[in-house]
Amino acid sequence: MKQTEITIDEVIKSFKNPPNHDGEKLVRNAFEFAHKAHGDQKRASGMPYIHHPLSTAKILATIGMDARTVAAGLLHDVPEDTSETLSTISKKFGPDISQMVEGITKLGRIKLRGTKEEHKLENWRRMFLAMGADIRTVIIKLADRLHNMQTLEHLRPDKRIRIANETMEIYVPIANRLGIGEIRSELADLSFMYLQPEEYKKAKLLSEEKLKEKELYVDKAIIEIEQSLKNEGIHAKDIHGRAKNIQSLHMKLQKHDMDINRVFDLIAVRVIVKDVAECYETLGIVHKKYRPMIGRIKDYISLPKPNGYQSIHTTVFGPDGRVMEIQIRTQKMHDEAEFGIAAHWLYETKKKKGWRSYFLPKETEVDKKEVEWVKQLQEWQEDLGNNPEEFMEGLKVDFLKNHIFAFTPLGDIIELPEGASVIDFAYAIHTDVGHTATGAKIDGKMSSLDSVVRNGQIIEIIKDKNRPSPNADWLNFVKTSHAKSAIRRAVNKENT
Ligand code: MN
């Protein structure tokens, strides 16, 4: 990937959500300060160092973040790499920005020791703790990592592998979790390219060949769909084709014996319409025009993915009977899919509505477990109103308050409601782990099964395979419905 010089004017121009006069001034001041502080430092590529914070800032502006976050992006390497200190940043730019910069500095500073699994675990732990403090810090870190991945070729081969690995294991899932599809895909493709160059080349080549062949009838479908919608009085805001990213394609190919003809969503036609009602109307119109493939309609509007993703997907026999996927969504859902949690900042100022208004339709019947996370967000947003300061405060206080993350010794994350016990943790891993649990080690210390799990703890469940059945007393302290029903089922079976 070529590194190109970029300017502060380009950063200003790339704001998806253009700042007011003061906001622009703040961003320009942050640039001047960072520029001076980094002086004539150079990146491994030989480029002036300032292009790295500029690129990070540009990514943040592009995904819809506000002026303050972009300013923090410009300043993110100043305390670590220059003689200017955090207290100077705090004096010049205020505590909000300096705290974001401090968060990023902390995320990068801790030296890692131990095994690879321990690294992974520690990384996760740090990211979640940072997320609890200020989610903007994590978003800046993602933008920082994206630019580092874009310029990875300038590093030594062993460093490339280490960083690509870390990106795939930590940053890709976090971008996914926050729903920032744009960053997730690019990070995944770049990591994949360095980690499995041969497979990357193969998938890329396959994709390019197939796309060339598909292009013609995708264009045809776009025109036909637009016309059919017009006939029914619907004016699509946008219809475009979008190819699947290389790494996701590779994953799918592996599932389908490398047969690209079985990957139905290699290229999807995206139809963006005005509102939810029009989404369903559009689905009907598309199915009238093209025969749908049985069992391939996915309604993520009434059943959003756990990260909040919404759209209707359907696979149809398009022009010339060619199979293709159609994705139908509103503009808000689209921005949400591309920019995830960052879309909040975009809509906060554009409309005086909380993001929950487009996160979930109000009266949906959704699988509870699937959207618990989204619902948590929804609930506190409801209580918080629409003030950005309150929103931030809410993220700090409530995001992790109602929700904790603990880890297995292998680094798997177990998500639990606040107040959950070790037994909830055990059942969350697997029903059998719950049934046979006799004790636990929390952060290496022996603990009882009714201990309350705290955020960030590493928990090892001690099992006894000969244990006859779970203890009915556990019902007095378990919090999750999953654990409760599993215990009840086992206890009832015992008594009959
Ligand atoms: Mn950096």
What burial class does residue 478 get, using C-beta atoms within 10 Å of its C-beta: 0-12 exposed, 13-18 middle, 19+ buried? buried
Is the sign of the CA dihedral 417, 422, 423, 427 positive or negative? positive
Which residues make beta-bridge pairs with 316?
292, 324
Question: Does the structure show a pLDDT above 70 at 359?
Answer: no
pLDDT of residue 165: 87
pLDDT of residue 116: 59
Q: Provide mean pLDDT across the span 208-212.
A: 87
80 CA → ligand 1 middle, Å: 9
Confidence of residue 76 (pLDDT cuts 50, 70, 90): very high
Task: Select the highest-mean-pLDDT range: 164-178, 411-425, 460-474.
Answer: 460-474
Amino acid occupying residue 35: H
Residue 151: what are its φ and ψ, rounded to 5°? -115, 25
420 CA → ligand 1 middle, Å: 37
**HSE of 202, CA atoms in CB hemisphere, 13 A:** 11
Of 217, 197, 195, nearest in space to 205 by CA: 197
163 CA → ligand 1 middle, Å: 13
479 CA → ligand 1 middle, Å: 41
What is the chain's mean pLDDT, rounded?
81
Predicted structure pTM score: 0.67
C-alpha dist (Å) from residue 55 to 4, 73, 145, 346: 9, 9, 11, 20
Mutual angle of helices 331-339 and 343-350, in 10-degree steps: 140
pLDDT of residue 443: 86
19 CA → ligand 1 middle, Å: 23
Amino acid occupying residue 124: W
145 CA → ligand 1 middle, Å: 7
390 CA → ligand 1 middle, Å: 28
470 CA → ligand 1 middle, Å: 50
b/e map of 77-106 (b: 16 or more CB within 10 Å)?
A: bbbeebebebeebbeebeebbbbbbbbbbe
Q: Provide mean pLDDT across the span 222-245.
A: 93
Tracing tokens 């059998």 back to the chain, one arrives at 432
pLDDT of residue 425: 95
pLDDT digits (tens, 9 = 90+) for 116-158: 555 555 565 566 555 555 778 888 999 999 999 999 999 999 9
Q: Provide mean pLDDT across the span 454-483.
A: 86
Q: Which residues surround ligand 1, an ion (CB under 5 A)?
A: 77, 144
pLDDT of residue 128: 58
78 CA → ligand 1 middle, Å: 9
Residue 362: what are its φ and ψ, rounded to 5°? -65, -50
77 CA → ligand 1 middle, Å: 5
pLDDT of residue 492: 83
Determine the Cα–Cα distance for residues 54 and 73; give it in Å rounded to an integer.
8
197 CA → ligand 1 middle, Å: 25
474 CA → ligand 1 middle, Å: 48
Residue of higher predicted confidence among 289 and 117: 289
Determine the Cα–Cα distance for residues 442 and 408; give it in Å rounded to an integer.
10
pLDDT of residue 414: 79
Q: For residues 298, 304, 309 and 315, what is the CA-based torsion angle, rounded to 10 degrees?
A: 0
Positions annotated as catalytic residues are 80-81
Residue of higher predicted confidence among 263 and 13: 13
Q: Which residues contact 334 (CB under 8 A, 6 or more apart)?
A: 270, 272
Of 372, 463, 446, 478, nearest in space to 415 by CA: 372
Determine the Cα–Cα distance for residues 33 and 80; give it in Å rounded to an integer.
14
Q: Provide mean pLDDT across the span 77-97.
A: 94
Which residues make beta-bridge pairs with 330?
273
Q: Provide mean pLDDT across the span 317-343.
A: 86
Question: Does the structure show a pLDDT above 80 at 383?
Answer: no
81 CA → ligand 1 middle, Å: 9
Report the 3 state secondary structure along the chain.
CCCCCCCHHHHHHCCCCCCCHHHHHHHHHHHHHHHHHHCCCECCCCCECCHHHHHHHHHHHHCCCCHHHHHHHHHCCHHHHCCCCHHHHHHHHHHHHHHHHHHHHHHHHCCCCCCHHHHHHHHHHHHHHHHHHCHHHHHHHHHHHHHHHHCHHHCCHHHHHHHHHHHHHHHHHHHHHCCCHHHHHHHHHHHHHHHCHHHHHHHHHHHHHHHHHHHHHHHHHHHHHHHHHHHCCCCCCEEEEEECCHHHHHHHHHHCCCCHHHCCCCEEEEEEECCHHHHHHHHHHHHHHCEECCCCCEECCCCCCCCCCCCEEEEEECHHHCEEEEEEEEHHHHHHHHHHHHHHHHHHHHCCCCCHHHHCCCCCCCCCCCCHHHHHHHHHHHHHCCCHHHHHHHHHHHCCCCEEEEECCCCCEEEEECCCEHHHHHHHHCHHHHHCEEEEEECCEEECCCCECCCCCEEEEEECCCCCCCCHHHHHCCCCHHHHHHHHHHHHHHHC
Residue 470: what are its φ and ψ, rounded to 5°? -65, 160
Determine the Cα–Cα distance for residues 32 and 69; give it in Å rounded to an integer.
16
Amino acid occupying residue 47: M
